[in-house]
Chain A
Amino acid sequence: MGDIFKALADGTRRALLDELLERDEQTLFELCSRLAMKHDLTPTRQAVSQHLDVLEAAGLVVVERRGRYKLHTIDTAPLAQIAERWPTRKASS
C-alpha cells in the first residue's frame, strides 16, 4: 500500500478526490474535463493518469475495468488512519 500522506500532498490529486466524491465510476476523460472546467487545472491526460495511479496505490481510488472502459471510484476508508493516529484534541488555553 502506498503512502496516503504522499498521495494527499498534491493539489491536483486533492482536486481529483473532490471530483470523485461527486460521482462513482468516472472515466479518465470525465475527470480531466472536471479538472479543467471546475479547477482550472489542465495537466496532460498522461499526468492525470499518473496521479490516479498514486491515488490507487494509496487505496484512495479503486479502478475497475468494465467492458471496454476503466472506471475510477473513491474509497475514503484509508483516511480513517489519520484520525486514528491523531484523534481530535483541542489545546486548552
Chain B
Amino acid sequence: MADPEGILVKLQTISIFVDDQQRAVDFYTGTLGFEVTADVPLGEHRWLTVRLGSSPEATEVSLEPKGHPAVAPFTDALAGDGIPWCVLGVDDIEAEHQRLAGLGVTFTQPPVDVGPVIVAVLDDTCGNLLQLAQYTS
C-alpha cells in the first residue's frame, strides 16, 4: 500500500486528441469555461493546455493534434459507438444540458438517470464525446 504522505506525483496533464486545435480551444474555453494555461507554437501545431478553474493543483488538459495515423480510427470508433472520452462532473445536469444545448452544443444523449448517476453525452466539435455526470447518491 502506498503511503499517502509519500506520494510525490500528481496528475499534471492528460491529453485529448482533437481534429483542430483552434476549434478545440474555442470550445473548451468559450463553451465549457476552461482557461488556457499554455499556448506555445510548435511548428505546425501548438503545445496547448487548458484547465478548469484557477487552482494550480487542477489537472491540465492538453489539446493534442491527431498527428499519429492510429489516432483518427481510434477516436472515430469511440464516437461512433457514443463512448465518451472523459467525465465532467456537474451539480445540476438538467441546467447544464439546457445551457449547453442553448449554445448549440450537440448531445448524443440527453440526461439519463442510470441509478447512482445521471449521465449526458455531448460532442466537443473536435471529434470527441464528453460525459456530463451528476452523482445522485
Contact = CB atoms under 8 A, between A and B. Distances in A.
Interface string A29-49: 110011011100000010001
A27 interface: yes
A89 interface: no
A70 interface: yes
A69 B82 contact: yes
Contact of B115 (A30, A37, A69): A37
Which range contains the number of A residues in contact with the other chain?
10 to 19
Contacts of A30: 82, 108-109, 112, 121
Nearest to B81: A28
A28 B79 CA distance: 10
23 contacts: A26-B82, A27-B81, A27-B83, A27-B108, A27-B109, A27-B121, A29-B81, A29-B82, A30-B108, A30-B109, A34-B114, A36-B114, A37-B114, A38-B114, A38-B115, A45-B81, A49-B81, A68-B76, A68-B80, A68-B127, A69-B79, A69-B108, A70-B82
B103 to A, nearest CB: 18
B132 to A, nearest CB: 13
Interface of A: 23, 26-30, 33-34, 36-38, 45, 49, 68-71
B82 A28 contact: yes
A55 to B, nearest CB: 16
A29 B84 CA distance: 8
A37 B133 CA distance: 14
Contacts of B129: 29
Given A26-B109, A29-B83, A30-B82, 20 more contacts: A23-B112, A27-B81, A27-B121, A28-B81, A29-B82, A29-B84, A29-B109, A29-B121, A29-B129, A30-B112, A33-B114, A36-B114, A37-B114, A37-B115, A38-B115, A68-B76, A68-B123, A68-B127, A69-B80, A70-B80
